[in-house]
Amino acid sequence: MNATLGRMKILVVEDEERVAHFIQKGLKEEGHAVDVSYDGEDGEFLAEINDYDLIILDLMLPKKNGITVCRELRAGGVVTPVLMLTARDSVEDKVRGLDAGADDYLPKPFAFEELLARVRALLRRQSESKTPTLTLADLELDPISRRVTRGDKAIRLTTKEYALLEYLMRNAGKVLSRTLIGEHVWDMNFDPESNVIDVYISHLRAKIDKGFEPALLHTLRGQGYLLSNDAPPA
């Protein structure tokens, strides 16, 4: 279950029943709602009348191929992300799929984990374009409501702590020096020799990391701070 993305509605258009059911089963186990269609015409119809978060579309399909389905959906104003399944790692198929408006492609055969990684990336892109919510692991920050949660727990932050966290989240995965943080979260005249950032970081860490796994806010001695799902290199 992907806690940061929640339950999504996904359409799988794939005529090979074994493959279709393999994908459906796996995505259901991830907590998604999955519809399956076995030909291009039916798949296109379902995609037009339902509001899916993602369409997984085989290229070689009976009645109408995936390229045509994708092109017609786009022409009809359907902007749902499309992950195209290609029969082999064919550059030509990839180019045709992307030209037709697919967002990504995956050559068959594929490991389910790989499909899942592509699905997650597309859903994340989709949810970011719908709402500007920032997420890292199970930490979420909504810049509109200014609501911060980790897992199920709401986290109360002071204005400055909030500004610091938002800056860190927008730059997650990057090491940020005190000077950078000072300039962005405080002001141009911030004195990098002062320990005010360290104090705020420790307040923030107590709120977002204490009692949670994994730790997200890391200190890199002599370099600065890093907000990341992965522990920094020692």
Does 214 sit behind a cis peptide bond, omega within 30 degrees of 0 on the bond before it?
yes
Rule CB under 5 A: say whether 15 interacts with Ca ion.
yes
- As measured in angstroms, the least distance from the Cβ of 36 to Ca ion is 13
Dihedral (Cα; 173, 159, 156, 177), 10-degree rounding: 20
- As measured in angstroms, the least distance from the Cβ of 87 to Ca ion is 7
Q: Binding string to Ca ion for residues 37 to 76, with x set by CB under 5 A, is what?
A: ---------------------x-x----------------
Instruction: Choose among 54, 200, 213, 194: nearest CA to 138.
Output: 213
Cβ-contact 108, 86 below 8 angstroms: yes
Rule CB under 5 A: say whether 98 interacts with Ca ion.
no
- As measured in angstroms, the least distance from the Cβ of 62 to Ca ion is 8
Question: Residue 12 — left, alpha, or beta (φ > 0 → left; ψ -120 to 50 → alpha)?
Answer: beta
Tokens read off for 169: 């989240």
CB under 8 Å to 40, separation ≥6 — which residues?
Answer: 13, 61, 62, 63, 64, 65, 66, 68, 69
- Choose the binding region for Ca ion from 9-17, 31-39, 90-98, 211-219 (rule: CB under 5 A): 9-17
- As measured in angstroms, the least distance from the Cβ of 39 to Ca ion is 9
If the CB atoms of residues 68 and 177 are measured against Ca ion, the closer one turns out to be 68
If the CB atoms of residues 17 and 191 are measured against Ca ion, the closer one turns out to be 17
- Choose the binding region for Ca ion from 15-23, 43-51, 74-82, 118-126 (rule: CB under 5 A): 15-23
- As measured in angstroms, the least distance from the Cβ of 46 to Ca ion is 17
Q: With CB under 5 A as the rule, give the number of residues binding Ca ion.
A: 3
Dihedral (Cα; 168, 172, 178, 179), 10-degree rounding: -90
- As measured in angstroms, the least distance from the Cβ of 26 to Ca ion is 18
If the CB atoms of residues 15 and 104 are measured against Ca ion, the closer one turns out to be 15
Tell me the CA distances in angstroms from 158 to 146, 148, 200, 201, 209, one per residue in order: 11, 11, 10, 12, 16
Binding site residues, Ca ion, CB under 5 A: 15, 58, 60
